[in-house]
Amino acid sequence: MSAILKTAKELHSELIDFILDAEGDLAESLETFSAEQLANFSQSQYQGAVQNEMILNMFVTEGTVGDQKPIDIFLQSYPDLSAEKRDIVNNFRRSFAGLFVVKKINDDGFELSNWLTDKQYTVKINEPEQQQLKRGKEGEILLARIAPVFEFYWMFSSPVTLMGRLGKPKLAVAIGNFKKNYKNYLYGDAPELLEEAWLSVEKYHQRFIDFFGSDEVTYSGYQLEQKLSELQEQVTESRLEAAGIDSSKSLKEMAQNADISDEDMAEVAEGMGVEAKAISKVLDSNKSVKMVMPKVELPAHLKKAEEVTTLSFPRWGQVFLTNYTQFKSLLLDDNVSEQINADKLVREYLESPEIKACVWHRLSKEYPEQLEKLLQQVLNRPEFNLERDYVDLLKEFNKNLSLELPEVASVPLHLDNLFQEALSEVKGKSNKKGKNKPKGGFGS
């Protein structure tokens, strides 16, 4: 093991011990941060010590004490550290969690690829890690945090979870779980992808308004599904038009006009879904873009609903509600106490994780006086003041006040391909099983 890797490992351990031994504001910040993260991890299959160490490592880069990070406080507490060591500690700010695939096994570590961003890393390991990871094989998926050590290589800065060689459906599920548990690391090593994803949310919001004429619409589930399909087709058409592609042409014609070989076109077509009308990947200089918009679909349980209201936000994305008009009627009716479902509906809006903070933000701006009165009556809090108590109320009911990348955000092309292929595999297996089952209904 190189001297600089040994030094980096020792410094990271000292940083973690410093945080664990801290008192006062730093300790309180760690306690609050850990509680919030544990709530997010409640459904995770990786429990216990590994989970706790991951959260502690997350605190190194995400935790705050006033306007300072734990690394700032650590460096202030050790002013005699050499310039080289201070540089190593400062590099820890760039550590991140990821789902990595083992591309190659070296004598002293791994060549890894971050599945979420397709970026490559050389990771060096020490002797204890060599013993722990000797089961690792090429093609295996690892869940871990890595931190830069030197210009050319990285190290593991957390326990490593070996997940095996995952098929596409299981890998898609693992990525979904990662997105839920490590929201801030979806594109942790690719700020350019994150920026493009956020920009795509704003663009889709504007497309939504242009299409519907409003950021709030109400339809039956069936009608809304049809409308969303039309909207997506328009978005696709506009992207093709912006790239100078005539979507009325066949892929063969597009290939000829773009002077692309049959082999290259076959590769592009596989990722494009074959039919030009379904294209969401755009050719540009004979290559497809890195980010694509995922297919926007109405959640299955809403497709047959009699009424669905869609609220669109430039940063929060879209929220689908079956009872938004009923809730607004509570705000416009002076006889709240006489409405049987008032208590049930208000509590649903407070307790349901599907009712995001942005919905409450919207209601508080449009109906401030009415909402304050409604909450006073339903919660039996006559002293409740919307302006003063609003944020605390949302926190009380575990509403996340921080923005999270919505489902409508564009995703890297390789991830979109993975999800489509995984879905096809699952549907194929489901259809096979269905054929082998005895027919149901009368006479079975």
The encoded tokens of residue 180 equal 């839920």
Work out the pLDDT band at 286, boundaries 50, 70, 90: very low
Mean residue pLDDT of the chain comes to 82
Q: Is residue 246 part of a domain?
A: no
Domain identity same for 164 and 18: yes
- Note the pLDDT of residue 278: 35
Q: Which strand (E) or helix (H) includes residue 221? A: helix 221-242
Q: What is the pLDDT of residues 391-422, one digit of tens each?
A: 999 999 989 888 888 888 888 777 777 767 76
Q: Is residue 414 part of a domain?
A: no
Work out the pLDDT band at 334, boundaries 50, 70, 90: low
Q: Is residue 302 part of a domain?
A: no
Q: Is residue 295 part of a domain?
A: no
DSSP character for 288? E
Q: Which strand (E) or helix (H) includes residue 103? A: strand 96-106
The encoded tokens of residue 184 equal 């801030």
Instruction: Taking each helix axis as running N to C, give the angle between helix 49-62 and helix 70-77, from 0 to 180 degrees, rounded to the nearest 10.
Output: 80
Q: Is residue 216 part of a domain?
A: no
Q: What is the pLDDT of residues 97-111, one digit of tens each?
A: 999 999 999 888 999
DSSP character for 41? T
Average pLDDT of the residues in 51-79: 92
- Note the pLDDT of residue 75: 96
Q: What is the pLDDT of residues 161-191, one digit of tens each?
A: 898 888 888 888 888 888 888 888 888 888 8
Q: In this predicted structure, which of 42-46, 301-305, 344-348 has the lowest mean pLDDT?
A: 42-46
- Note the pLDDT of residue 315: 94
Q: Is residue 104 part of a domain?
A: yes
Could you list the residue range(s) of the whole structural domain that residue 125 is in? 3-185
User: For residue 208, how far is the Cα from the chain centroid?
Assistant: 21
Average pLDDT of the residues in 150-160: 88
Whether residue 317 has pLDDT greater than 90: yes
- Note the pLDDT of residue 282: 39
Q: What percent of the chain has pLDDT over 90?
A: 48
Q: Are strands 291-292 and 308-313 parallel, antiparallel or unpaired?
A: unpaired
Number of domains in the chain: 2
Q: Of 396, 422, 438, which residue is a domain's last?
A: 396
Average pLDDT of the residues in 7-11: 94
CB 46 within 8 Å of CB 161: yes
Q: Is residue 259 part of a domain?
A: no
Q: Is residue 96 part of a domain?
A: yes
- Note the pLDDT of residue 60: 93
